[in-house]
Amino acid sequence: MQLGDILTNETFDVQTASVEIDRVEIDSRRCVFPTLFFALQGSGADGADFVADAVARGAVAVVASRPITSPVPVVVIPESRIHSVLSHASATVSGHPEAGIDLVGVTGTNGKTTVTSLVAQLAQSVGWNGATIGTLTNERTTPAAPELYRTLARLRADFDATRPQSVIALEVSSHALDQQRVLGSRFAVVAFTNLTHDHLDYHRTMEAYYSAKARLFSLEYAARAVIWVDDPYGAQLAASTALAVTEVSRRDARDISSALSGTVFFWRGHLVNTSMIGDFNIDNALVAMAILVELGAREEDVAAAMAAVTAVPGRFEVVHQAEVTVIVDYAHTPQGLERLLGSVRELCAGRVVTVFGCGGDRDTTKRPAMGEVASRMSDLTIVTSDNPRHESPDAIIDGVIAGVVGPADVLRETDRRAAIARALASARPGDVVVVAGKGHETTQTFADRVEDFDDREVVRELLKGA
């Protein structure tokens, strides 16, 4: 495809317009011949510094927000437009895979992965095509436009063309909205789950964090929204957005019955029987079901389809159930951990034993808050390493323990495997052991290395060797 057919609203000479392009990139390391490289200005790096590397790897043209010296043609586009042009170029080179697809954008601190997974599974169960893009499928929660549209193209190619509707649910992070990664995308429905303490190392204040999330709920991105209004930020968003809003609340679920085997409740007059466990998963299910109805599914079909959904990997995942139950979950925020442990407490006949840590090089202010939650809501807490990255594991643990409220039984163990082993060894019949923070992740990141580590596999190995 020629550059002139990609950047249709730009003006350049005939020779530049005829440059052949078959790939778009913002990362010079991913450039191959013949790539169109966008030299974006980021908060920590300037893409202009990587133009030479991009060209050396196969870039045949560059888009930048200012003139750059380069052996290949450079198209200058104002900073105010460059992200929307990137989205258009990425979609065009990928063959506009978004056409004919209902794209759903889900944002919020907790629940994005579960809601998007439920939307895809429910779509499949009602006879549509369904897929997700997010934490479980891509390197970034929300990929930048080049990767996003390539992923959309790959998913669409795998869809059954005979099915009447196709849905792809995308996790939309606050970082992605702040960095304009989804600028130019159009969503059939956007959804909000909640907003709690997280990412303040990036956003600095909860107000700035909320403002980043709220950007998705503008007519620029969608016309319809599904919003969880039991969250105060959700209620604020529902009252302020110009979009048509479907408000979702725990009041939508009636006659709830929960156990470690599943959950039953009534929704809009229909029985919902699901294998999903945990109080917060009821909320996630209510949001996902409302999204399906907004997309055109019948309420009774959506309610019945909940029987077929399966748990999301690493989200309230029961990895062992005998005299002692072991649950692995991704909870890594104070509210996420509190809701997790609250659900476990309701379903637990014995003690709650919790193993968790906090990630290094991330928001330090939430560490004592998580220590407070764990020590208050667990009978035994073992604080350990998560992904320490470039920080001292002991220093991270100190930050967590600073928030411990007493009297509380709290231990520290920097080795995560040893911490899990101590929790399992201490468990008695009827107890539930919760291993939180990493969920589906299969590695542990240190300053100088990345090691294989899957909480679920470690639990199984330790129990097998017991």
Q: Is 93 helix (H, G, I), strand (E, B) or coil?
A: helix
Which DSSP symbol is given to 319?
A: E
User: What integer pLDDT is reported at residue 461 of this predicted model?
Assistant: 96
User: What integer pLDDT is reported at residue 337 of this predicted model?
Assistant: 96
CATH class belonging to 3-93: alpha beta
Which residues of the chain are in CATH 3.90.190.20 domains?
317-465
Architecture field, domain 102-308: 3-Layer(aba) Sandwich (3.40)
262-267 and 253-259 as β-strands: parallel, antiparallel, unpaired? antiparallel
**Which amino acid belongs to residue 263?**
T
pTM: 0.88
Residues of the chain with pLDDT under 70: 466
The candidate with the shortest Cα–Cα distance to 181, out of 83, 65, 47, 85, is 83
What string of DSSP letters covers 373-409?
HHHHH-SEEEE--S--BTS-HHHHHHHHHTT--SS--
Look up residue 347 and give its two tokens: 């379903």
Residue 404 and residue 360: Cα distance in Å, rounded?
Answer: 19
Q: Is 246 helix (H, G, I), strand (E, B) or coil?
A: strand
Report the alpha-carbon angle 25-105-114, nearest 5: 110
Residue 408 and residue 379: Cα distance in Å, rounded?
Answer: 7
User: What integer pLDDT is reported at residue 317 of this predicted model?
Assistant: 94
Which residues of the chain are in CATH 3.40.1190.10 domains?
102-308
What's the CATH fold of domain 317-465? Answer: Protein-Tyrosine Phosphatase; Chain A (3.90.190)
User: What integer pLDDT is reported at residue 466 of this predicted model?
Assistant: 63
Which residues of the chain are in CATH 3.40.1390.10 domains?
3-93
pLDDT tens for 197-225 read 777 777 779 899 999 999 999 999 999 99
166-171 and 129-133 as β-strands: parallel, antiparallel, unpaired? parallel
Q: Is 102 helix (H, G, I), strand (E, B) or coil?
A: strand
